Amino acid sequence: MKTNLRTLGPQEAKLVLALREEGQEIVTASEIIQRLGSETTARSVIQGLLRKGWITRLIPGRYLLLPPEHGPEPLGENNVLALASAVIEPSYVGWWSAASFHGFTTQRPTTVTVATTRQVASRILEGSEVRFVMVTPRKFFGFQRYTLYDRNVTLSDPAKTVADCVDRPELCGGPSELARILFGASSEVEAAEVITAALAMKSSALLQRLGYLMDLVGWPVTAEQRGELRRHIRPTARTTLGRKDRGDGDVGYVSDWGLFVHVPQSELLADVPKRIRSH
């Protein structure tokens, strides 16, 4: 009877065992050529390991090892956050995906969004869409490695996740989901940490949205912290949360933060448990 088990030839075993001994999860074609001493041998080994399910291709010439712990059958890698995090360096999984990982929302986004410092085309990895978003260098910080199902995954830390989501609401499910994320984070992350991350990103629009949403969901913020936000917002700054144009029932202009909120408050608070903040 024909079996479909993951086997290893001598050269394949040499490479896999060396990578495991060194704790290396990601390997490039050039590294494999260097290790095996022959481009012809290396190409043959790469094709064999791909076919047998010992590695998976992230992008051309870059591979993720699927170790023996994955079992004897070639089942692939179902840890999409690990796959997304491994495609390019430097990068980090952020926005909605990170908010879900940190427990700020119960939603599970179908697309994994990854922050990078250069343009990278979106791709499908093991059946999941991964979108790469190039961010300006001043906003590329606040990430660290986490362990997820025995894999190293680089994600934005909790405070930076909130700041990133407020900066780009369209990457975290829109205004209503953003409000839910802020409420979820408010009991887990210190306001000071989020404000520090937001200030470092140097965006008045981000600070305006953050101040409004913190008020909206009842995130405890001191007078000093509110003042710090306000001092870094240009007096003439105006920005929008929600649609481009105002619709019936929208919150409208919030003078405290110079913000046009083109979303109904009932929609923003649809998934936010009631919590009244005294001013």
Contacts of 13 (CB under 8 A, 6+ apart): none
Percentage above 90 pLDDT, the chain: 85
SS3 104: coil
Query: Which listed CATH number (2.30.30, 1.10.3470, 3.30.460, 3.40.50) goes with 81-268?
Result: 3.30.460
Domain ranges of the chain: 10-70, 81-268
Burial label for 218, CB within 10 Å (0-12, 13-18, 19+), is middle
* Helix, strand, coil content of the chain in percent (nearest 5): 40, 20, 40
| 140 Cα distance to chain centroid | 12
pLDDT the model gives residue 74: 64
Kindly report the CATH class assigned to 10-70: mainly alpha
What's residue 1's pLDDT?
40
| Predicted local distance difference test score (pLDDT) of residue 277 | 40
For the chain, residues with pLDDT lower than 50 are 1-2, 276-279
Question: 10-70 and 81-268 share one CATH topology?
Answer: no
Whole-number pLDDT of residue 149 = 86
pLDDT at 3: 53
How do residues 161-201 score in pLDDT, each as one tens digit? 999 999 999 999 999 999 999 999 999 999 999 999 999 99
**39-60 confidence digits (pLDDT tens):** 999 999 999 999 999 999 999 9
